Amino acid sequence: MATKAETKAANPTVDFPRKITTKLMLRGHASEKKGVGITDDFLTRLMKEKEIPLFNIIGIAKAARPKLTEYGESVGFIGQFEATSLIEPGYVARAPKVYLPGFIEEQLFGLMSAGQNNVSFGFTIGIQYDAASGKKYIFTARPLLAPQGGDELDLLREQIAPALPAPKAA
């Protein structure tokens, strides 16, 4: 007989929020404080497990909308997005707008600012314990697909490799 979690995962609940955010995908583990904070119970769990995968996010970003918030600059992406919870089996969110952790946001915004439209992406977003961080955690991202259009640094390396001397053996 299937467990409750297996049944829920096999029959997902699809939600259609206005936007997908990390706070939404924390699914009850977000604190009620302003900003994206986590509950004390979730922090205790994180301290034991060191890293917890939160959700998979896939999408096609067609436009970027920077805005200034009380926490600094943020970029909302417009397009088609779907997030699947890894901490609440069976929860799926689909929305026309997404806000991502800052380091991913910067990469995607860079691609779009360079003229790429319809940027496809997929990541597993996680949370990792970090005693040195003021919040005691950082967000992580593991790519689910190769970068669209290739890595520009790899292309540059190929172009300049013939002009560079061969590295010396250590």
In this prediction the pTM is: 0.78
pLDDT at 99: 94
pLDDT at 4: 58
> How many angstroms separate the first and last alpha carbons of the chain?
59
Distance CA 142, CA 14 (A): 23
Rounded average pLDDT per 10-residue block, the chain, 170 residues: 58 89 88 73 90 95 89 90 94 96 88 81 94 90 74 73 71
pLDDT at 112: 83
pLDDT at 60: 94
- Secondary structure E strands in the chain: 13-15, 51-69, 72-85, 91-99, 119-129, 137-143
Distance CA 55, CA 22 (A): 9
pLDDT at 16: 94
The mean of the pLDDT values for the chain is: 84
Q: What is the pLDDT of residues 15-51, one digit of tens each?
A: 999 999 998 999 888 877 655 578 888 888 999 999 9
pLDDT at 79: 96
pLDDT at 2: 58
- Per this entry, what is the length of the chain? 170
